[in-house]
Amino acid sequence: MLAPLIVASPAVAVPYELRYQGTYDDLLHPSCVREITVKPATRVNAKGKKVKGYAATFRGTDVGPPGIGDKIFLACDEDSIRKYGLREFEFGGKVEGTRIDAGDGIHQGDYNSMMEGDSFDGIRWKDGNRWLKTSDVIPPPEAPSI
């Protein structure tokens, strides 16, 4: 008797834009939270046509008040948090192909992949900073303490 033939279904191609989803280590802000979620979105272009795209949501933590200066090189460590305070942030952006853009002139970058010959997996930002990808999974938010 012959064994049943098992046919694998073809792999579903994952859109390149979804590579941005995940958690990261920010080289300029060690120990600060850096997460990006990516979801399909429809927008209207300049000609009034609906265009499929991808929306990105950036979420994380920083030390000190927003707008301290052009570049802030502070870690989210105990000393910095005690001295400057910890704050959370969230803002939106878009992903088009290999580019991500929050529309703020700072968070504009390209995805880098070691499988494609780059030196790291993650995002190289316009200002030269790099976010190294640590996981494709976004952890659920922590429950507030009572």
Query: Where are the chain's structural domains?
Result: 16-135
pTM of the full structure: 0.80
User: According to the model, what pLDDT value does residue 10 have?
Assistant: 47
Residue 21, number of CB atoms within 10 A of its CB: 20
Q: What is the pLDDT of residue 8?
A: 45
Q: What is the pLDDT of residue 72?
A: 66
How many whole angstroms separate alpha carbon 44 and alpha carbon 53?
10
Burial call 102-115: b when 16+ CB within 10 Å, e when fewer: beeeebbbebbeee
What the block records as the tokens of 112 is 């880098």
pLDDT tens-place values along the chain, 146 residues long:
555 544 444 444 568 889 999 999 999 999 999 999 999 998 888 899 988 889 999 999 999 877 655 556 789 999 999 998 999 999 999 998 889 999 988 889 999 999 899 999 999 999 889 999 999 988 776 655 55
Question: How is residue 12 written in tokens?
Answer: 């579903």
